[in-house]
């Protein structure tokens, strides 16, 4: 992407998120093409980046949506996603969320426990509706990824084991108010090895075969998401390798294949811009203090995640020294990178944190009463604002009317 990052930062201010919509389109097309010849839906994982313009861009390309709250379901609908391409997942759905999802007639609710199934059945009965459901199966496969984003082991909170899943399908199939149309698994995020995906898909496909043998007609086979991306020097899997593994596992089954890419779509489409406030040295330790903070981008603090950090417009021949890039938030965990090789930097120099399109703004907070940054889209070489910078007034709007009211 050929873009004047300094001009962009001057125009919109910092901290700032920028997303390359042409890159996102290319990623969607690559993945969708890898499913060629098979019935498939690419359900974008809204949690990765929930900006309405991002979702709408993917919806226009034909994408569905994987949602983990009724808020995300409503974002998907607002952005123009076809309701029959929306899945509502998540381990804890309230009755009002279940009710609203059923009333909005989305494709299916993905269930994660027997107790949840009984609640969905009860709500569906109250509404006099049939609930289309899938069940998230936990195949107990080690995804070989960060423990916080591992989801397919028995020690994780997600899904049900195989025997429980089969009992749930048999129950749902007999219920007047449940229609078991799908099956789902998702073993983790940032997967860079193919074998765990192959193994999990094979286990779940065998369960589908056993269900079809007892006349439970599973129509949708949802393989989740998790395709890894390159943040540093990772060697990851291709879309073609991913789909071929799924094709092999589901050979002979008449099903529609679903996948839920999030990070794969948007991580490397995004960058986070922040300006240098000043430098300081403590007992020989160098710090570059910037106007962005962990409330804007928490991945380094939360996961010890690596993001490539670069200084913009600085002479490449200038000698670099290690520096911790830190923000103004009152926490020792407020950093974007440690021992980052950087040239000497001055006030208002621009720093870019790369690969920030996924789990960046969507995990941002107002900690320390800091306002959330603006978001900008780049498409066809042109920039446009897709979320205004938050103000202090935006932050306190829901509180002001109660100021001074005593209990």
- Kindly report the CATH number assigned to the domain that includes residue 390: 2.40.37.10
Q: Are residues 61 and 101 in the same domain?
A: yes
> CB within 8 A of 165, min separation 6: which ones?
135, 137, 183, 207
* Structural domain contains residue 27: no
Q: Are residues 316 and 209 in the same domain?
A: no
Helix (H) or strand (E) segment spanning residue 273: strand 270-282
Q: For residue 143, is pLDDT > 60?
A: no
* Structural domain contains residue 138: yes
Between CA 276 and CA 292 the distance in angstroms is 9
Which residue shows structure tokens 């099956």? 183
pLDDT number for residue 190: 84
Between CA 187 and CA 150 the distance in angstroms is 6
Strand 270-282 to strand 285-290: parallel, antiparallel, or no bridges (unpaired)? antiparallel
- According to DSSP, the residues that pair with 221 across neighbouring strands are 183, 257
pLDDT number for residue 145: 45
* Structural domain contains residue 404: no
Boundary (domain end) residue, out of 261, 288, 318: 261
User: Using an 8 Å Cβ cutoff, are 145 and 191 in contact?
Assistant: yes
Q: Are residues 107 and 190 in the same domain?
A: yes
How many residues are there in the chain? 407
* Structural domain contains residue 30: no
pLDDT number for residue 328: 98
Mean pLDDT for 115-137 is: 97
Report pTM: 0.94
330, 398, 400, 406: which one is catalytic? 330
> What whole-number percentage of the chain has pLDDT above 70?
95
- Kindly report the CATH number assigned to the domain that includes residue 41: 3.20.20.10
Q: Are residues 161 and 131 in the same domain?
A: yes
Between CA 134 and CA 204 the distance in angstroms is 13
Q: Are residues 142 and 82 in the same domain?
A: yes
Boundary (domain end) residue, out of 239, 261, 283: 261
Three-state DSSP state, 137: strand
> CB within 8 A of 178, min separation 6: which ones?
117, 120, 121, 124, 130, 131, 133, 171, 172
**Peptide linkage before 241 cis (omega within 30 of 0):** no
* Structural domain contains residue 141: yes
Domain range for 115 is: 35-261
Q: Give the range among 139-143, 198-202, 215-219, 267-271 with minimum mean pLDDT.
A: 139-143
Q: Are residues 238 and 347 in the same domain?
A: no
Nearest to 46 by CA among 74, 18, 83, 4: 74
* Structural domain contains residue 129: yes
Number of domains forming the structure of the chain: 2
pLDDT digits (tens, 9 = 90+) for 328-358: 999 999 999 999 999 999 999 999 999 999 9
Which residue shows structure tokens 């006099």? 128
Boundary (domain end) residue, out of 232, 261, 290: 261
pLDDT digits (tens, 9 = 90+) for 280-321: 999 999 999 999 999 999 999 999 999 999 999 888 789 999
Q: Are residues 158 and 304 in the same domain?
A: no
Q: Are residues 226 and 301 in the same domain?
A: no
> Dmax over Cα atoms in the chain, in whole Å?
72
Q: Are residues 299 and 234 in the same domain?
A: no
Q: Are residues 276 and 299 in the same domain?
A: yes
Between CA 218 and CA 182 the distance in angstroms is 5
> At 71, phi and psi to the nearest 5?
-60, -45
Q: Which two tokens stand for residue 253?
A: 């089954």
Q: Are residues 64 and 171 in the same domain?
A: yes
* Structural domain contains residue 23: no
* Structural domain contains residue 26: no
Q: Are residues 83 and 151 in the same domain?
A: yes
Whether 67 is catalytic: no
DSSP 390: P
Name the band, by pLDDT with cuts 50, 70 and 90, for residue 144.
low
Q: Cα 42 to chain center, whole Å?
A: 14
> CB within 8 A of 230, min separation 6: which ones?
236, 268, 355
Between CA 193 and CA 170 the distance in angstroms is 34
Name the band, by pLDDT with cuts 50, 70 and 90, for residue 156.
low
């Amino acid at each position: 992407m050929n873009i004047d990052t300094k001009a962009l930062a001057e125009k919109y201010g910092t901290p700032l998120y920028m997303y390359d919509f042409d890159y996102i389109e290319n990623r969607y097309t690559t993945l969708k093409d890898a499913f060629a010849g098979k019935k498939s839906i690419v359900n974008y994982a809204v949690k990765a980046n929930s900006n309405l313009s991002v979702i709408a861009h993917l919806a226009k390309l034909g994408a569905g949506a994987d949602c983990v709250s009724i808020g995300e379901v409503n974002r998907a609908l607002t952005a123009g996603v076809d309701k029959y391409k929306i899945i509502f997942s998540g381990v804890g759905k309230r009755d009002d969320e279940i009710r609203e999802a059923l009333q909005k007639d989305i494709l299916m609710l993905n269930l994660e426990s027997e107790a949840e199934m009984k609640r969905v059945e009860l709500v569906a009965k109250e509404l006099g509706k049939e609930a289309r459901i899938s069940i998230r199966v936990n195949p107990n496969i080690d995804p070989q990824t960060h423990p916080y984003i591992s989801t397919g082991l028995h020690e994780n909170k997600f899904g049900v084991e195989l025997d429980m899943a089969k009992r749930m399908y048999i129950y749902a199939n007999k219920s007047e108010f449940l229609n078991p149309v799908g099956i789902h698994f998702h073993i983790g995020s940032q997967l860079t090895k193919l074998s765990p995906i192959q193994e999990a898909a094979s286990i779940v496909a065998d369960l589908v075969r056993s269900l079809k043998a007892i006349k439970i007609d599973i129509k949708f086979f949802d393989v989740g998401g998790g395709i890894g991306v390159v943040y540093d020097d990772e060697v990851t899997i291709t879309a073609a390798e991913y789909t071929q593994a799924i094709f092999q596992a589901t050979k002979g089954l008449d099903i529609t294949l679903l996948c839920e890419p999030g990070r794969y779509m948007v991580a490397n489409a995004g960058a986070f811009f922040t300006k240098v406030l000043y430098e300081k040295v403590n007992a020989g330790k160098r710090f570059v203090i910037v106007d962005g903070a962990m409330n804007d981008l928490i991945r380094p603090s939360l996961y010890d995640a690596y993001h490539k950090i670069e200084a913009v417009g600085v002479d490449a021949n200038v000698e670099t020294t290690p520096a911790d890039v830190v923000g103004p938030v009152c926490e020792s965990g407020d950093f974007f990178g440690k021992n980052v090789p950087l040239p000497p930097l001055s006030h208002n120099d621009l720093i870019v944190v790369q690969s920030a399109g996924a789990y960046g703004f969507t995990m941002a907070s107002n900690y320390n009463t800091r306002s959330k940054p603006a978001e900008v889209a780049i498409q066809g070489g042109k920039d446009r604002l897709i979320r205004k910078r938050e103000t202090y007034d935006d932050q306190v709007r829901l509180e002001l009317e109660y100021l001074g009211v005593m209990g």
